[in-house]
Amino acid sequence: MGFETVAFYVLALLAVAASLGVVAQRNPMHSVMLLIASFGALAGLYILLDSPFTAVTQIIVYAGAIMVLFLFVVMLLNVGREDAAEWDRSHPLNKPAARRLGAALAVFLLLELAWAVWHATTREAVGLASVSSGGVSSVAAIGRSIFTDYSFQFEATSILILAAMVGAVVLARKEQE
Amino acid sequence: MDITLNHYLVLSAVLFSIGTAGVFLRRNVITLLLSIEIMLNAVNLTFVAAGRQYAAVDGQVIVFFVMTVAAAEAAVGLAIIIALFRHRESLNPEAFTSLKW
């Protein structure tokens, strides 16, 4: 087994374990921390995929900015552990019929995933290491693409960010009586 | 055995399923938003892996836009959570059903 294979499996395991932790944790603070770990593992996978720009953006934008925003809100609202009894009482899907249907669908989904894993590991396919990367790791090429082919979309995102900024300020503002 | 595109697609499917399960199972709006972030990241992984396979930078450009949308979504979503928490003192989505018919 080469370095790339070992690194892929370690990072994939880390990402899946951390994501499972996010969903299983009842303390939102721990969920946010585990999600940061999951994003770190994904950044490692991006480096394995010859995409250093995306890996660094993942760390700076996701782990650095978005997750800090989440941490800030968790701390601001000072939310504690989720109450399991309240979960049982208030979950809209916690009814016998919905439970049975949900369990059946979950088993179906797990079977599908197992089938996909089995095919991905047994089927003959060309390894990514032997496919030409064709300069996908070049930050210059990405920048050229953003500012030429995708220049309209790039400008549209600036409107989106402006709208989100104004929206966040208006929504979170205290109402004046 | 070499790592192929299939490995990345399966990993992405697993992560997306975990995120979906989180949206269905959790009763805390902050964790719901975190689960949505897991799903967005699973999709990002498919874009980068496919871009690598077909030697195109477009995958990474789209991931760049997805990150922008995720940032906007997180900012507005968290502002809504703060506003709702101020009114109801709760993070359980069942507390916010006054608009439900």
Task: Judge residue B18's burial from the number of C-beta atoms within 10 Å of its C-beta, 0-12 exposed, 13-18 middle, 19 or more buried.
Answer: buried
- Which residues of chain A form beta strands (DSSP E)? none
Query: Domains plus CATH for chain B?
Result: 5-96 (1.10.287.3510)
Residue B13 carries which side chain, given as an amino acid letter?
A
| Per-residue confidence in pLDDT tens, chain B, 101 aa | 678 888 899 999 999 999 999 998 888 889 999 999 999 999 999 999 999 988 888 999 999 999 999 999 999 999 988 888 888 877 777 777 777 76
- List, as ranges, residues 68-97 from A with C-beta within 8 Å of B: 69-70, 73-74, 76-77, 79, 82, 86-87, 90-93
- Of A37, A81, A46, A152, residue with least CA distance to B50: A46
The residue written with tokens 């690194």 in the block is A7
Find out whether B43 and B12 touch, Cβ atoms under 8 Å. yes
| Per-residue confidence in pLDDT tens, chain A, 177 aa | 688 889 999 999 999 999 999 998 888 889 999 999 999 999 999 999 989 999 999 999 988 899 999 999 999 888 777 676 766 777 777 778 888 888 899 899 999 989 888 887 777 777 777 777 777 888 899 999 999 999 999 999 999 999 999 999 998 887 765
Q: How far apart are CA A32 and CA A36, in angstroms?
A: 6
pLDDT of residue A26: 85
pLDDT of residue A47: 93
Span A1-81 CATH architecture = Up-down Bundle (1.20)
Give CA B48 to chain center in angstroms: 16
CB < 8 Å to B15, chain A: 15-16, 19
- The interface predicted TM-score of the complex, written ipTM, equals 0.90
pLDDT of residue B40: 95
pLDDT of residue B1: 66
pLDDT of residue A131: 78
Nearest by CB to residue A132, choosing from B35, B55, B73, is: B55
Nearest by CB to residue B60, choosing from A28, A53, A163, is: A53
CB < 8 Å to A82, chain B: 26-28, 31
Q: How far apart are CA A77 and CA B81, in angstroms?
A: 9
Contact between B22 and A23 using a beta-carbon 8 Å cutoff: yes
**CB-based contact, B33 to chain A, within 8 Å:** yes
Q: Which pTM does this prediction carry?
A: 0.89
Domain regions of chain A by residue span? 1-81, 138-177
pLDDT of residue A118: 85
